[in-house]
Amino acid sequence: MAWIIYRDRDTGRFVKEQVWKRAKKRGSKRYKKQKVKRKKRPPEPPPLPPPQGPVYEWIISMSYKKSNRSFDVIVTARNEAEAYDVTRNFLRDDTQGRRIVQAGFHGWELVPVKGALTEEGPGEAGYRDKSKRRKH
């Protein structure tokens, strides 16, 4: 199947069909009508199968030496590399964590600790609440 396009011979710009018709009625040869073949899209690759294996809870302990700031992120992942990726994506979506990711974790020490098996799917993340709340 082909498309029909109209072009200006001088500039090469596309023009509307109405411009081409009007010029043709007046005897002008400035605009030309072309048929262009459509390019076929390459077939989409089949989706990758989901990775197999047990899902663990990982605690990524993050500490910044200069200010002694530290916090923990709890994530679910199959291995350590996936745990780092989930942590990076979680912090990227957080307003305060975005600065840490943009700086490339410069000055931050990340310590991963593998936890227990979990029933949750991989990719879940959240902050670990260290604060002790007082009951009034």
DSSP category for residue 105: T
- Cα gap 52→37, rounded to integer Å: 44
Average pLDDT, integer, range 98-108 = 86
Q: Are residues 33 and 62 in the same domain?
A: no
Query: Could you tell me if residue 134 is inside a domain?
Result: no
Q: Are residues 66 and 123 in the same domain?
A: yes
Question: Given a cut of 80, is residue 1 above it in pLDDT?
Answer: no
Looking at the predicted structure, is the pLDDT value of residue 122 above 50?
A: yes
Question: Could you read off the pLDDT of 62-93 as tens digits, one per residue?
Answer: 998 888 888 899 999 999 999 999 999 999 98
Query: DSSP string of 31-73?
Result: EEEEEEEPPPPPPPPPPPPPPPS--EEEEEEEEETTTTEEEEE
Joined together, the tokens standing for residue 76 give: 């679910």
Whether residue 88 is contained in a domain is answered as: yes
On whether residue 50 sits in a domain, the answer given is no
Range of the domain at 100: 56-127
What DSSP state is assigned to residue 132?
Answer: P
Residue 90 and residue 75 in contact, taking contact as beta carbons nearer than 8 Å: yes
| 21-62 pLDDT, tens digit each | 999 999 999 999 999 888 888 899 998 887 788 999 999 999
Q: Please answer whether residues 128 and 87 qualify as being in contact, where contact means their C-beta atoms are separated by less than 8 angstroms.
A: no
